[in-house]
Structure 1
Amino acid sequence: MKKGLIFSCLLVAVTSVQAAPISLPYQGFYQRLKQVNKGNYPLIEIAFSVPNKSRCLIKSGTLTTENESFPLTITEDQRIFLPYDARLKSDRALVNLDIEGSADNCSISMQVRAKNTKQSYSQKEVQELQTEMNTMLSDMQGFPMRYFSQDIAGVNFEFKPGSKISVYIDGKEQIVSDKLRLSSKQIEELSVIEFDTKPLVISPWTKG
C-alpha cells in the first residue's frame, strides 16, 4: 500500500472540478504546514506541487480571501509556495490555479524533502536527514499519510530527468540516471557520498 502512494502523496484530487481556475480551500494546506511548523525540522520541509506538467500546465495562481488577493510563486516544475498564516485560514482563503487543459488531469501532491541540497554528504548528514524524515512522517500520521507507520527504507537522491550523474561513494564511482536510492543499510556502511552535480531533491524512500 505504501508503494502505491510513492512519496508524492496525493493531498487533494481535483478531478471533479470542471471549470478553470481550480479553487481549493487553503485550510487543508494550512493543517499540513501547521504540523511541520510545530516540529523541529531544520533540514527538511514539505513541498506542494502539481505533477504531470504535460497534461496539467499551471499558467498562474493566486491566494484569495473575500477582500484580498495575493499572487502565488510557482516554479517551472510546478511547485507551489504557500505561506503559513492562521489569518488566511480564518478568512477561508482559497488557492486558485489557472490551468491550461482539463482539470480532470490535475492533482495536488505533497512531498517531504530536504530544504537544500549539496554535492557532498557525510554519513552523519545523510542519517540526520533520514531521522528527520522519519520523525516528520510519524508526526503526520492520519490521512493521507496513514500508511507510513514504519520507518522509511532509505533516502532518494533525485536529479534532472534524462541526466547521467557520477556518484562517488567512499571514492568509488558509479553512474546513475535520474535517481540514486540508498537503503538504510547502505547509508550505515558509507563514510561520504559525492556527486558531480548536486541533487534537485532528496526525499524518503519507502517500500511497499
Structure 2
Amino acid sequence: MKKSLLFSLVMFSCATVNAEPISLEYQSFYQRLKQVNKGNYQLVEVAFSVSKANGCKLIDGTISTEKESFPLTFTKDQRIFLPYDAQLKSDRALINLNVDGDAKSCAIAMQVRSKNTKQAYDGAELLQIQTEMNTLLSMMQGFPMRYFASEIAGLNLEFDADVVITLDGKKIPVSGTYRLDKEVIERLNSIEFSQAPKVISPWTAK
C-alpha cells in the first residue's frame, strides 16, 4: 500500500528558544525566497506559517534590524508574509514572533503551493502548476528536502468545506481533501469546484 504524504515541511523548530518573543534569522527565509525569485515561477510559491500544533497561536510579530522594526503581516491560518529583500539579509534582520502557548514547542512550516486558487482550471493550467512545483522542489533538494527529492505523484487539493468537484463532466462529492494523480492531470481537459480550493500543494506518495 502506498503511504500518502502531504508536502509540508517543518523548517525551523523553536524548541531551543527559552524566552519571548521567538526570534529567527531572516537569512534562512531569504535563501528559500531567493530560489523562488530566481525561478520566475508564474503559478507557484513558497509559503511560511506558524504551525498550530501544540496550541501555538501567533499573536503578532515584527521584522527587525538594529535600526528599524516593521510589523509582520499574517493570516488567521498563521501564514506569515515575508519580503524578498537583500538589504534585510545584509542587515541581519530577525523575524520576531509573539505566541500564545508554549514557545518552546512552536515551529515554522514551509509549504510549496499554488499562488492563487480559483473555481475552474483547464488541464494545461494544472499541468503547469505540477511542472513548476516539480522544478521548484528539485531546486530545493538537499537537507531536509532530500526526503522529497523524487517527482511528486500529483496535486493535493484542500477545501474549507464539503464541495462538489466536476472532473471532465463527472461530479465527485469531496470532504476536506482530494488528490489528483499526475496521470489524471495529464489526461484532464477541465475541472470545476463548487468552491475554490483553499490550498493546492504537491502530493507525494511512497
Considering the TM-score relative to the shorter chain, is it more than 0.5? yes
Q: Structure 1 length as normaliser, TM-score?
A: 0.94
Q: Structure 1 regions of 5+ residues with no counterpart? A: none
Q: Does 1:129 align with 2:142?
A: no
CA distance in 1, matches of 2:126, 2:54: 33
- Tell me the equivalent position of 1:74: 74
Quick check: 37-46 or 53-62, which moved more? 53-62
Superposition deviation, residue 111 in structure 1:
0.3
Q: Structure 2 regions of 5+ residues with no counterpart? A: none
- Tell me the equivalent position of 1:141: 141
Decide whether the 8 Å contact of 2:47 with 2:79 is kept in 1. Answer: yes
CA distance in 1, matches of 2:10, 2:141: 14
- Tell me the equivalent position of 1:39: 39
The SS at the match of 1:84 is: coil
- Tell me the equivalent position of 2:194: 196
- Tell me the equivalent position of 1:57: 57
Quick check: 192-201 or 179-188, which moved more? 179-188
Quick check: 147-156 or 89-98, which moved more? 147-156
Q: How does 1:49-198 map to 2 (within 5 A)?
A: 49-52=49-52, 55-160=55-160, 163-198=161-196
* Percent of residue pairs identical: 59
Q: Deviations over 1:47-75 (max 9, x none)?
A: 00012267000100000000100000011
Decide whether the 8 Å contact of 2:122 with 2:190 is kept in 1. Answer: yes
Superposition deviation, residue 144 in structure 1:
2.1
Report which of the two has the higher share of strand.
2
Decide whether the 8 Å contact of 2:54 with 2:105 is kept in 1. Answer: no
Decide whether the 8 Å contact of 1:56 with 1:103 is kept in 2. Answer: yes
CA distance in 2, matches of 1:5, 1:185: 17
Q: 1:6 to 1:193 in 2, by over 3 A?
A: closer
Superposition deviation, residue 172 in structure 1:
1.0
Decide whether the 8 Å contact of 1:18 with 1:102 is kept in 2. Answer: no
CA distance in 1, matches of 2:184, 2:69: 48
CA distance in 1, matches of 2:4, 2:205: 9
Q: Deviations over 1:11-35 (max 9, x none)?
A: 1010111211100000100010011
Decide whether the 8 Å contact of 2:4 with 2:205 is kept in 1. Answer: no
CA distance in 2, matches of 1:4, 1:175: 20
The SS at the match of 1:146 is: helix
Q: Deviations over 1:73-92 (max 9, x none)?
A: 01110000000111111111
Superposition deviation, residue 150 in structure 1:
1.3
- Tell me the equivalent position of 2:7: 7
- Tell me the equivalent position of 2:21: 21
Decide whether the 8 Å contact of 2:6 with 2:156 is kept in 1. Answer: no
CA distance in 2, matches of 1:95, 1:142: 24
The SS at the match of 2:202 is: strand
Q: 1:5 to 1:126 in 2, by over 3 A?
A: closer
Q: How many residues align?
A: 204
Superposition deviation, residue 147 in structure 1:
1.9
Superposition deviation, residue 108 in structure 1:
0.2
Decide whether the 8 Å contact of 2:30 with 2:84 is kept in 1. Answer: yes
